[in-house]
Amino acid sequence: MPVTGEEIQLILNVIRDTQAVEIDCDVCLMQVGEFAEDRLAGKPIAEGLKAIEQHLLICPECREEFEALCEAMNALENPES
Amino acid sequence: MVRDRDNDEWIKSLQAEGPIRESALSDLRELLFVGLKSALKSRSDFIDPMLDDFLQDSLIRILEALDQFQNRSRFVTWATAIAIRVALTQLRKRQWRDVSLETLVADTNFEPEAASDELAPDRRELVEAMYHVINTQLTEKQRIVLLAEIKGMAQEEIAAQLGCSRNALYKLSHDARFRLKQELVLVGFDSKSFAAAFNG
Ligand SMILES: [Zn+2]
């Protein structure tokens, strides 16, 4: 099977966002809560959390977990909805 | 009635013994229950009866990781992130356990002609250069990891089938991406050129 056009674009996207120094998924997990709280509060991304933002761009699994965390936080804030 | 606590109280209660700890664990379990149920609702492979196992495993992981909590978010936010990692890792494992990495890779080839129909004509050069680097500059393992990841295969499963740790896998993936980027930049492509090879 050939690689699809969509998949080629996926590779190009991660290449674009790849940096020489990156954090891994375990470091991301420890700090993604702070990142999510800031995002939900509408705060700009703090300098110390830029590495999290970059990791979420290149790691689909952590991105899925971040989106799930935002859902969870909304449910915890508004338990009756 | 579930009681939230401030961060210090959560940590102290969970490190205590007897009824204080029991009550904190039970409240945390309730909060994680609400959070996880909502967090997992978009996964079609999630069914409610799985929650008990997820919560049990999550509480163990959270207690093990307590000394890594840096007090930079609410405790419950941090704990929920761990519970989501635990639950999604298990769901992804189930999803990918019957897929062989070997077959996935054998069935796919990085051939320049492959997607040329959909390619914007001015981007053919970029994609051909990318294939060239993938086929000539990456190691076999780097190529496998790059391919498996764009196919969406779970990282845990890729690592298991390659017989390496998650950390080693991350390094392979990073080295592949970084090498690819460096080589493409060397031959004159920049970040802007990676943005939209396909006009859609
Ligand atoms: Zn990650």
Ordered by start, the domain boundaries in chain A are: 22-77
For residue B197, the model assigns a pLDDT of: 54
B179 within some domain: yes
B115 with B74, same domain? no
> Is A72 in contact with B51 (CB distance < 8 Å)?
no
B2 within some domain: no
Strand partners, A2: B109
Would you call A8 and B198 a contact, using CB atoms and an 8 Å cutoff? Answer: yes
- Chain B: give the shortest CA distance to residue A10, in Å: 7
In the numeric block, which tokens belong to residue B101?
A: 């990495």
Pick the last residue of a domain from B70, B96, B122.
B96
What's the structural domain count of chain B? Answer: 2
What percentage of chain B has pLDDT greater than the value 90?
76
HSE at residue B84, side-chain half, CA atoms within 13 A, is 35
B82 with B168, same domain? no
Chain A residue numbers touching B31 (CB-CB < 8 A): 76
B128 with B193, same domain? yes
Domain span holding position B186: 101-199
Q: Which residue has the higher pLDDT, B110 or B97?
A: B97
Q: H or E stretch including A20?
A: none
B76 with B114, same domain? no
Strand partners, B16: none
- pLDDT (mean) for B144-152: 92
Pick the last residue of a domain from B47, B79, B96.
B96
Q: How far is residue B104 CA from its own chain's centroid?
A: 19
B89 with B110, same domain? no
For residue B199, the model assigns a pLDDT of: 46
Cα B177 from Cα A58, distance rounded (Å)? 10
Of the listed ranges A54-58, B15-19, B109-113, B181-185, the least confidently predicted one is B109-113
Confidence of residue B129 (pLDDT cuts 50, 70, 90): very high
- The single residue listed with the structure tokens 């970029």 is B126
Would you call A4 and B198 a contact, using CB atoms and an 8 Å cutoff? Answer: no
Confidence of residue B109 (pLDDT cuts 50, 70, 90): confident
Pick the last residue of a domain from B67, B96, B125.
B96
B132 with B55, same domain? no
> Is B81 in contact with B48 (CB distance < 8 Å)?
no
B156 with B177, same domain? yes
pTM more than 0.90 = yes
Confidence of residue B200 (pLDDT cuts 50, 70, 90): very low
Chain B residue whose CA is closest to A36: B77
Would you call B72 and A33 a contact, using CB atoms and an 8 Å cutoff? Answer: yes
Three-class SS state of B151:
coil
- pLDDT (mean) for B56-70: 98
For position B187, which CATH number holds?
A: 1.10.10.10
The answer to whether the complex's ipTM is over 0.90 is: yes
User: How do residues B6-20 score in pLDDT, each as one tens digit?
Assistant: 999 999 999 999 999
Q: Shortest CA distance to B156 belongs to which of B79, B86, B68, B109?
A: B86
For residue B36, the model assigns a pLDDT of: 98
